[in-house]
Structure 1
C-alpha cells in the first residue's frame, strides 16, 4: 500500500471537515461544522500557526495530521503539538500511523522544530502503544487547560 503525505489545499476542505467531524466523534467531542470551517481557514491561511498534512492512498485522502507551532524556552525555540492525527477506519492497523509519525519527525526536523508534543486519551491503547514505540513518553506533568472567553473581531 503506497502512502503519501501532502500539504493541505483548499480543494481538500470537504474531505478534511468530514474527517475532523469523525475524529471528534470517536471520543464524543462536539464538532461544529461552521466553526470547524472557520478554524480550518484561519489555520491554513497563516503558516506561522502550523501545518495541516493529508495522508493519501492513491488519489484518496485517508487521514490528516495537524501540527500546531509554538515556542518554548525549555526546548530552545520552536516546538510543535500534534493537535490531531486521524486515519479513516478501513486504513487503521496497517502501519499508517507509524508512517505518519515518521513523517512528523522528518518534517519537524526539516522545518526546525526542536520538540514535538502530543496528548492521547488514556483508554486509546493502540495510540499509546504507537506513540511510545516512536519514542514519545509522558513527561511527568499534567496537561491543564482553561478556556478563554474571547470576542471574535469579525462578528
Structure 2
C-alpha cells in the first residue's frame, strides 16, 4: 500500500470533519460541533501556525495529520506539536503510522523546527511504540490545559 500526503483544501471541509469524527470515536473523545466546527472552518481557510494534510492510501482518504508551530525557549526556538494524527482502522498495520511519522519528521526539518512534540494516551501502547521507535520519549513534563475563549 502506498501512502501520500496532500495539504488540505477548502473543498475538504466535509472530509476532514468525517475523519476527525472517526478519530474522536476511536479515541473515546466527544466531538462538539459548536467547538470543533469553527476550528475546522479555520483550518480549511488556512493558518500560518497550522499545517494539515490529508493522508491517502492509493488515492483513498485514509487519515490526517495536524502539525502546529510554536516557540519554546526551553527547547531552543521554533517547535512543533503533532496535534492530531489519525489513520482509519482498515489502513493500520500496513506501515502507515510509520510513514506519517516520517513525513512529520521531514516537515519539521523543512520548517526549521528545533523539536517536535506530541501527546498520546497512556493506554494506546501501539501508537506509543511507533512514536518511541521514531525517537519520541516521555519528557517528565505534564501537559496542562485551560480554556481561554468564552463558552
Please give the per-residue CA displacement for 1:33-68, whole angstroms capped at 9, x wherever unaligned. 353231012234343221001111233110000101
* 1:53-68 equivalences in 2 (<5 Å): 53-68=53-68
Residues matched between the structures, number: 151
CA distance in 2, matches of 1:126, 1:150: 36
Distance 1:69 1:2, change over 3 A: same
Structure 1: which 5+ residue stretches go unaligned? Answer: none
**SS in structure 1 at match of 2:42:** helix
1:51 corresponds to: 51
**So what's the TM-score if we normalise by structure 2?**
0.92
**SS in structure 2 at match of 1:135:** coil
Please give the per-residue CA displacement for 1:90-121, whole angstroms capped at 9, x wherever unaligned. 00111100000000000110111111100000
Structure 2: which 5+ residue stretches go unaligned? Answer: none
Does 2:148 align with 1:148? yes
CA distance in 2, matches of 1:72, 1:8: 27
2:33 corresponds to: 33
- Provide the alpha-carbon RMSD of the alignment: 1.5
**SS in structure 2 at match of 1:26:** helix
Would you say the 8 A contact 2:13–2:44 is kept in 1? no
**SS in structure 1 at match of 2:71:** strand
Which deviates more, 24-33 or 10-19?
A: 24-33
Would you say the 8 A contact 1:56–1:63 is kept in 2? yes
**SS in structure 1 at match of 2:43:** helix
Please give the per-residue CA displacement for 1:15-41, whole angstroms capped at 9, x wherever unaligned. 110110111112321112353231012
Does 2:7 align with 1:4? no
